[in-house]
Amino acid sequence: MDRASTSPSTASAAGGISRRQVLLGGLALVGGTVLGPALTSCSPSPSATGTPVRYWHPLSGGDGITMADLVESINDEHGFAAEQTVLTWGTPYYTKLAMASAGGRAPDVAVMHASRIPGYAPGGLLDPWDTDLLAELGVTEADFPAAVWEKGIVDGKLYSLALDSHPFILMYNTDVAEQAGALGDDGLLQDITSPEEFLDVARRMQEVTGKHGVSYGYLGDGAQMWRLFYTLYLQMGAEMTLDGDTVSLDEQAAVTALEFMTQMLDGTVAASTGDYGTAVAEFLNGESGMFLTGVWELPTLAASGMAFDARTIPTLYGTDAVYGDSHAFVLPHQDDPDEEQRRETYRFVSEILKGSIVWAGAGHIPAYQPIVESPAYDDLLPQAHYADATANLNYDPEAWFSGSGSDFQGYFAENIQNVLLGQTDPAVGLRGFVDRLNSILAKPNPVTGT
């Protein structure tokens, strides 16, 4: 698809969306696959008597089970008739959602990653939330971390309402850490404040496990490469923006982050050629002491019965920062939404947020702060040990082509994997990534037509 040949048309006077706008979601997924079918369609409970709320999301596995349980309980307790449709995550989901919004077949509410909003809201594929109605239902800006709430705002309007934040974190085997002398008097992992300290702790854990100190899978996984890189980069106080004709970034900070990653991947501290599945298995089998991963792995580790804890990734370069994203509720565009139906949708979402202590069980940090500040959340371990990550959460640099499930992180992998394999100089790999992004930024933005 040649996105540079034309710009998106504007919506008709009647409030409809042009065929060009139908394609906006796909344009934000250049190089992606075709639509995937719905995997699951869950009917409301027999006792539900309210107006049906059509709810789409891409949550599967443990997340899908937790969400299904949460929706079922909300239906039962509050008389909703919410119907869940679960679609294939990634390109299929985002393309399907865009086409449904533009084709007049949009669900009442859907889940998107907050990092994808810049590729949807400006093109008219989403409707803004009415913050007055949310406030009437007990959901206000004051109930959310500032960065998480602000991420949903485009041109002064709220287009996404976060359910959670899911940061990149550090999990650790408490038995291995204890044997390595890496636990403090409080029983938690010792404070680590520099790259050298991190490597030292990892090497001590490697002496215990006999294999590796850290599990970090990255082969063929641009998201994994990016999550750690961007965390380290931001911890140097560096910034990256994609809102001009060229990328703006701190090249020295970026190279330093890549150099540390290659130093860690020396075959002793961490496997030099590990993929994500291997990293999970290694940590579960006690063959490493620490695991760089996302909060979504918590149910897997909890089910294994191993002794582990988790914390926000240590600040190695002086500035508190961590990479993350949010599952967020959005209102796919409807030309003439029914007022009663919309109110029921708002009520449904507000009750999901208020009941998100259940969602916290899957490892995610609820965005609705009354949950995080409750005694019940304090009792959730290890979740309570990394809840502070929301204070320093950072999303992908904003662009129509960035965000979870987009090709942005794939562009990173194309140029950086060989760096991590020790086959390309970090500065050369970084330049290739920057050149790839600059080639995109030099062309018209298909979402705004500029």
Lowest mean pLDDT among 1-10, 155-164, 429-438: 1-10
Three-class HEC string of the chain: CCCCCCCCCCCCCCCCCCHHHHCHHHHCCCCCCCCCCEEEEECCCCCCCCCEEEEEECCCHHHHHHHHHHHHHHHHHHCCEEEEEEECCCHHHHHHHHHHHHCCCCCCEEEEEHHHHHHCHHHCCEECCCHHHHHHCCCCHHHCCHHHHHHCEECCEECCEECEEEEEEEEEEHHHHHHCCCECCCCCECCCCCHHHHHHHHHHHHHHHCCCCEECCCCCCHHHHHHHHHHHHHCCCCCEECCCCCCEECHHHHHHHHHHHHHHCCCCCECCCCCHHHHHHHHHCCCCCEEEEEHHHHHHHHHHCCCEEEEECCCCCCCCCEEEECEEEEEECCCCCCHHHHHHHHHHHHHHHHCCHHHHCCCCEECCHHHHCCHHHHCCCCHHHCHHHHHHEECCCCCCCCCCCCCHHHHHHHHHHHHHCCCCCHHHHHHHHHHHHHHHHCCCCCCCCC
Residue 32 scores a pLDDT above 60: no
**CB-based contact 193:201 (threshold 8 Å):** no
For the stretch 94-123, pLDDT in tens is 889 999 988 888 999 999 999 999 989 988
- pLDDT for 18 beyond 90: no
Do 294 and 358 form a contact (C-beta atoms < 8 A)?
A: no
pLDDT of residue 37: 40
Percent of all residues in the chain with a pLDDT value above 90, rounded to a whole number: 80
Does 39 score more than 50 pLDDT? no
Strand partners, 251: none
- The number of CA neighbours under 13 Å toward the Cβ of 353 is 27
Q: What is the reported pTM?
A: 0.88
Residue with tokens 């007055």: 132
Domains, the chain: 19-163+326-394 (3.40.190.10), 168-324+407-441 (3.40.190.10)
Residue 258 has which token pair? 């890549």
Asked whether residue 20 carries a pLDDT value surpassing 90, the answer given is no
Candidates 402, 395, 394; CA nearest to 437 is 402
Confidence of residue 11 (pLDDT cuts 50, 70, 90): very low
Q: Which of 85-99, 209-223, 260-274 has the lowest mean pLDDT?
A: 85-99
